[in-house]
Amino acid sequence: MAKTKIWLCRYSESRRGKFFEIVLLILLAVLFLFSFVLGRYDVPLKEVVHILLGRWFPITPTWTPNMETVVLNVRLPRILLACLVGACLSAAGATYQSVFQNPMAAPDILGASSGACFGAALAILLGLGSYYITIFAFGSSLTTVGMVCLIGQRMRGNPITGMLLAGIMIGSLFNAGTSYLKLVADPTDELPAITYWLMGSLSGAKMRDVSLAAVPMLIGLVPLLLLRWRINVLTLEEEEARAIGVDTRRLRLAVIASATVITAASVAASGMIGWVGLVIPHLCRRLVGNNFCHLLPCSILFGAIFLLLADNISRNLLATEIPIGILTAFVGAPFLLYLLTRKEHIL
């Protein structure tokens, strides 16, 4: 292993990848701690560190019980969820872009978000609690992508184009379904609940939500991290990739399944948070290049940083919270315009 590192040091891209991975990791750690201090209830940084360490080490409390509740029960789950969702959406976006050889691919390209929204709206309409809303959204999201894959495989011609087309169609079908549910929802309480959920927000996150989301997220992220070299080969033409000795069909299926699980878990936990999955991977491509070995870790770290930052703004900028989905769209849409108008097309 050590020998590999020495060899790789001769190549600039690999060195850059390592450098940015470390920089982003440090940034994330700093932002993570700093985020605990932000908020209407004042907790000094020193106490934050003590409270966090106090969970594992015997430290005599110098803080009030209120501080502990705010840090451990209110801010910690929300910060963790922001990191997890940001990391997953960004990782899924980078993956879909590579698998579909399409720089404009985002995590909802196969209808994962549309499906989740429909499931969540249905659960709200049925009067179920937040726990079931998440479960419904997650299940409905996986079902949608499953349908897209099945239909896409049956289409003639290029399997990738088939899947993208199926994604657009099934996605709009579920969007129509969500619209219908909104139509029949009770406008005094159900309709606003659905609307707020669709906007995407991390408010009111509890430790239970975090652990519920973390399991599928890890199940999806680990295979992606392990397969990250092979995912590069999927960006080649079908014939080239197969001639190189890769079973493209099986690999693509495994990679899409993993990316879909993490997307579904993210959307189910936080609602529609757009643009992260498109914008962050592109920024990372500018930083470390397209090699997935570096692109994936960087996207994960950068995604976590970005969403944590956005969530800090969302909960502190105004007295009433701005849904984070709106904030990310404010940043994402101009960036997309920049991408489209840039002279150099190849990333």
Partner 1 sequence: MKLEVRNLSFSFRCREVLRDVSFSAERGEFLSVVGPNGAGKSTLFRCILGIYSDYTGRIAVDGDEIRSLSRRQLADRIAYIPQIHRPTFGYSVLDTVLMGTTHHLSPFTQPKARQITQAEQAMEWLGVAHLANRNFAHLSGGEQQLVLVARAIAQQADILVMDEPTSALDYGNQLRVLQRVRQLADKGYTVLLSTHNPQHALTFSHRVLALSDGRVAAWGKADQALTEELIQLLYQVKVDFLETEEGRIIVPRKGVGLS
Q: Which residues bind partner 1 (CB under 8 A)?
A: 1, 3-4, 6-8, 11-13, 97-98, 101-103, 226-230, 232-233, 235-240, 242-247, 251, 285, 289-291, 293, 346-347
Residue that is written with structure tokens 């770290």 in the block: 301
CB nearer to partner 1: pick between 189 and 247: 247
Q: How far apart are CA 227 and CA 251, in angstroms?
A: 9
Cβ–Cβ under 8 Å, residues 264 and 141: yes
- 87, 94 in Cβ contact below 8 A? no
In the complex, the smallest distance separating the C-beta of residue 77 from partner 1, rounded to whole angstroms, is 32
- If the CB atoms of residues 225 and 331 are measured against partner 1, the closer one turns out to be 225
Buried b / exposed e over 132-153, threshold 16 CB at 10 Å, is: bbbbbbbbbbbbbbebbbebbe
Q: Which is nearer to partner 1, 170 or 241 (CB)?
A: 241
Shortest Cβ 345–partner 1 spacing (Å): 9
**Nearest to partner 1 of 272, 279 (CB atom):** 279
Q: Which residues contact 140 (CB under 8 A, 6 or more apart)?
A: 115, 116, 118, 119, 120, 122, 174
Please, what is the minimum distance in Å from the beta carbon of residue 62 to partner 1?
Answer: 47
Q: Which is nearer to partner 1, 43 or 300 (CB)?
A: 300
The secondary structure of 266-316 as a DSSP string is HHHHH----SHHHHHHHHHHHHH-S-HHHHHHHHHHHHHHHHHHHHHHHHH
C-alpha span between 112 and 335 (Å, rounded): 23
Do 299 and 281 meet the contact criterion of CB atoms below 8 Å apart? yes
Nearer Cβ to partner 1, position 53 or 244?
Answer: 244
| Closer of 234 and 304 to partner 1 (Cβ) | 234
285 neighbors 167 (Cβ within 8 angstroms): no
In the bound state with partner 1, the residue whose beta carbon lies nearer, of 12 and 60, is 12
Residue pair 246/233 in contact (Cβ under 8 Å)? The answer is: yes
Q: Smallest distance from the beta carbon of 142 to partner 1, in angstroms?
A: 24
Q: Smallest distance, Å, CB 13 to partner 1?
A: 5
Our CB check for partner 1 shows the closer of 9 and 30 to be 9
In angstroms, give the least distance from the CB of 17 to partner 1. Answer: 11
Dihedral sign for Cα atoms in the order 333, 338, 344, 347: negative
Q: Which residues of 62-101 are buried (b: 16+ CB within 10 A; e: fewer)?
A: ebeeebbebbbebbbbbbbbbbbbbbbbbbbbbbbbbbbe
To partner 1, the closest distance from the beta carbon of 90 in angstroms equals: 16
Q: Minimal distance in Å, beta carbon 226 to partner 1?
A: 4
Closest distance to partner 1 from the beta carbon of 293 (Å) = 6
